[in-house]
């Protein structure tokens, strides 16, 4: 049984996502993207990186993402992706 200690806060989730994007995708670990920065619509993340990010999210946060989730409505910012993760973790 999980306790509240095991559940990351939305801020923790956002920080982990931003760090992953900065280090693994953008290769700029010291320059984290802002939570509201456009990722897909600006061209910062392409379709290959989108899949990598989706796998990171599933592995790190234990949520299942459907193919239909891999779009700019869900993944265009750290904030949008965080909201999706929180929603999926809530059930």
Which SS3 state, helix, strand or coil, does residue 70 take?
coil
What is the phi/psi pair of residue 85, to 5°?
A: -65, -45
Structure tokens at 15: 């920080």
Tens of pLDDT, residue by residue over 23-78, are 999 999 999 999 999 999 999 999 999 999 999 999 999 999 999 999 999 999 99
Q: Are the C-beta atoms of residues 53 and 71 closer than 8 Å to each other? A: no
Domains of the chain: 33-91 (1.10.1200.10)
pTM, full prediction: 0.90
Angle ∠(31,54,35) on CA atoms, nearest 5:
35
């Amino acid at each position: 049984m999980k306790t509240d200690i095991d559940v990351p806060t939305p801020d923790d989730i956002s920080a982990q996502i931003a760090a992953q994007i900065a280090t693994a995708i953008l290769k700029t670990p010291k320059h984290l993207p802002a939570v509201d920065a456009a990722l897909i619509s600006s061209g910062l993340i392409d379709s290959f990186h989108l899949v990598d990010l989706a796998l990171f999210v599933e592995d790190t946060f234990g949520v299942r993402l459907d193919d239909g989730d891999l779009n700019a409505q869900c993944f265009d910012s750290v904030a949008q992706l965080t909201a999706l993760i929180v929603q999926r973790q809530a059930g």
